[in-house]
Structure 1
Amino acid sequence: MGTVYSAASMSLDGFIAGDDNDPGAVFDWYQAGDIEIATATPDVTFHVTPHSAEYLRDLVARLGALVVGRRLFDVTDGWTGRHPYDVPVVVLTHQPPTDWHYPGAKNFHFVTDGIEAAVRVARTIAGDLDVAVAAGEIGTQALEAGLLDEVRVDLAPVVLGAGRPYFTGGRTRVLGDPTSLIQTARVTHLTYPVPRA
C-alpha cells in the first residue's frame, strides 16, 4: 500500500495562496529552470530545474489518486475534467455538483461522508500507489484524523503576508525530522514524516 501524504507549495509565512486563491510567486519554481515537464493539460507545461524535474517525475510516477476539497475543485473548475497529473480525483464535498459536465471526466469521485471515507476511496483507487491530500482544510482534517504518513512542503522564498494557510488550525502536532530535503532554484522540497500516536 502506498503512502498517504499532504503536499503543497507554501510561502515562508505558511500560505499556499492569497485570499483570492492565487498562489502568485509561490508557484514561481514551476518556471525556474530549463527542463520541460509536460502535463495532461495541453496549456500547462512546467520548466523546472533538474532537481525539481526528478522530484516531480518521481511524485507523478507514484501518485495513484488525489483528495481535494470543494473549494479547490471549484477554483480550478475541476481542471476541466482532467487533472494535470492525469490521476483520479476524489472530491470531499457536502453537495456534489449537478451542473459540472466535461466530456471524458470519468476520474472524478464525489464523497460526502467525511475525510476518512474520502481517503478510503482514494486508497482503493490508488492500490499500491500513493495518495496525495490537498493542503488547507482537507489536509488539516486528514492530519487531525491520523490519516497522513507524511507532510510535503515545496517551500518558496516568498512572504505573502496573508492568504490561505497550509493548515487551518487544530491541535499542535510535532512532525519528524525531514526525510528528504532538495534545495534548488525558487524552492526547497521537504518531506516530513507524521509520527503515529
Structure 2
Amino acid sequence: MSKVIANMSMSLDGYVADTADGIDQLFGWMGNGEVEVPTAVEWATFRMSPASAEYMRAALAGAGALVTGRHLFDITQGWGGTHPIGVPVVVVTHEPPADWPHDETFTFVDGVAEAVRVAAGLAGEKNVVVASAKIAQQCLDAGLLDAIDVDLVPVLLGEGVRWFENLAKAPVRLGDPTVIEGNGVTHLAYEVIRKA
C-alpha cells in the first residue's frame, strides 16, 4: 500500500537548510562512502556507506511521485527538468511558471491536498514523497502524512530553515523509529499516529 512520506536531511538542531537556503552541511553523507548509487540524472550519482546505500535504493525503488513547493522548485531551477529520483513532480504554487518546457514530468497545482491527490494518482502503488519544509508542515497539519523519514546529520547549524517550525496542530505523535546508522548520518523512519 502506498504512503505519503515526508523526507529531509536535517541537522541535529532541527534545520533543513541554512539562512541562505544552503544545504551543503546536510548532504555530505551522500558522497562519503564506497557504494555507488546511481539516480535518474547523470549529475547526481551518490557514493554512500553500505547501510545508507541500501536505505537509499529502497527509498528510490519505493518512490512513485514527488510533491514540492514553488520555493524549492525555484531554488533548484526545477532540477533541470528531471528530479534525481526520476519520478513525476507535483509543485504546489499559486503561479505556475509561464514557459516551463518539461510539462510531461512536472504538474503545477494550487494547494497541498490537491497536490497529494494528483501525486497519489501518478504514483500508483508506490509512495508519494514530500520534499519541502513548508509543504510537509501543511501536509502534516492537514492529516495527509503517513510517515516522516529523517536523515539526521551530526551538525549544529544554529539557525536556518526549521523543518516543522510552524505546526498548527501540534503536538503530533509519532511511532517508534526504525533506525539505520550510516556514515555521517542516522536514518530515522517514523509512522505518523493519526488522531482517533
Identify unmatched segments of 5+ residues in structure 1.
none
- 1:29-68 matches, cutoff 5 A: 29-68=29-68
Q: Which moved more, 1:184-193 or 1:162-171?
A: 162-171
- 1:139-154 matches, cutoff 5 A: 139-154=136-151
Question: 2:104 — aligned with what?
Answer: 106
Give, in whole Å, the separation in 2 of the partners of 1:30 and 1:166: 20
Q: Which moved more, 1:12-21 or 1:89-98?
A: 12-21
Alignment-mate amino acid for residue 89 of structure 2:
V
The answer to whether structure 1 residue 26 and structure 2 residue 26 are counterparts is yes
> Deviations along 1:73-102, whole A, 9 cap, x unmatched?
000010010011100000000100003325
**Contact conserved, 1:178 with 1:192, CA < 8 A, in 2?**
yes
**Contact conserved, 1:13 with 1:161, CA < 8 A, in 2?**
yes
Question: 1:196 — aligned with what?
Answer: 194
- How far did 1:37 drift? 1.1
Q: Which moved more, 1:169-178 or 1:138-147?
A: 169-178
Moved over 2 A (4+): 99-102, 173-179
Identity %: 46
Identify unmatched segments of 5+ residues in structure 2.
none
- How far did 1:56 drift? 0.5
Give the RMSD, CA atoms, in angstroms. 1.2
The answer to whether structure 1 residue 124 and structure 2 residue 121 are counterparts is yes
Question: 2:93 — aligned with what?
Answer: 93
> Deviations along 1:12-50, whole A, 9 cap, x unmatched?
111111121111221110012100111122121111000
The answer to whether structure 1 residue 134 and structure 2 residue 136 are counterparts is no
Question: 1:187 — aligned with what?
Answer: 185
Alignment-mate amino acid for residue 194 of structure 2:
R
Q: Secondary structure at the match of 1:152?
A: strand
Alignment-mate amino acid for residue 165 of structure 2:
T
Q: TM-score, normalised by structure 2?
A: 0.95
Alignment-mate amino acid for residue 171 of structure 2:
R
Give, in whole Å, the separation in 2 of the partners of 1:43 and 1:36: 13
- How far did 1:184 drift? 1.7
Say how many residue pairs are matched: 194
Give, in whole Å, the separation in 1 of the partners of 2:180 and 2:39: 22
Q: TM-score, normalised by structure 1?
A: 0.94
Q: Secondary structure at the match of 1:79?
A: helix
